Structures are given as C-alpha cells and as structure tokens.
Structure 1
Amino acid sequence: MDANTRLKLLQILEERYELRSVIIVSLLPINKWYDYIEDSTFADAILCRLVSNANTIEIRGESMRYKKKK
C-alpha cells in the first residue's frame, strides 16, 4: 500500500470512527495487514480503528467458485 493510500484510508476511518459503520471485505487475513500496509505506525492506527469495536467474520474453507468448477 503506498503512502497516499495509507493516509486516505486512515482519514476515512478517523472520520467514521464510532460514528458510522465501515464494512471491509478482504481476501487478506487481518494478521497479514501489517505486511500489506508496510508502515507499522499507520498499520497500528488503521487496525486500531478497524478492529477495536469490530465484529469480524472469517470464512474458512475452499472458495465456492472452486467448488462450482468441480
């Protein structure tokens, strides 16, 4: 994630924090976000706002797309 994208994401999350809902859908597990964000300070800030009051749903198993192809 480049610096501009990190900053924009953090700004959006700060504006909405404890005021509005945010839905994030990702194929990347939360524990890999630090590596993806590439800046530990921004990663801490972003994940703090996302995870602190979050309801997370982690879906495990094979993708439905792959199951349909079989």
Structure 2
Amino acid sequence: METLVLKNRLKVARAEKNLTQGDLAEIVGVSRQTISSIETGQFCPTAKLAFVLCIALDKKFEDLFYFE
C-alpha cells in the first residue's frame, strides 16, 4: 500500500505575503522552528494548525496542502 505524504506550498505562500517564518509563527501561535519543520516536510501540522495557516495566508486548504 502506498503511503500518502502531505506536502505543502507554505514557503511560497508565506513569501507572497512578505512574511518571515517568525512573522507567520507569531500570527498562528507556534514557534519559528515549527513553521520551518512544516516547510521542510519534517513535521505534519495538525488539522487545526493547517486550517489556521490557511486563514493567516488567505489560502484554501487545497492551495496550500496536497498529497504526493
């Protein structure tokens, strides 16, 4: 069985808003390291955090996250 890996376009979306990892982290209430880990695929955000990131970056879930 294939394993679905959740990928994201967080770095691109963050850059479009001219936000640093630290800026975005502060907005959504996590550490900069958490944002970095999500961007590099080391950490998979909870559904709640993924939703909050979508709101903060003004993106639909499917525009920010996808399976590969």
TM-score by length of 2: 0.29
Q: If you compute each CA radius of gyration, which structure gives the higher value, 1 or 2?
A: 1
TM-score by length of 1: 0.29
Structure of higher RCO (CA pairs closer than 8 Å, 6+ residues apart):
2
Normalized per residue, the structure richer in strand is 2
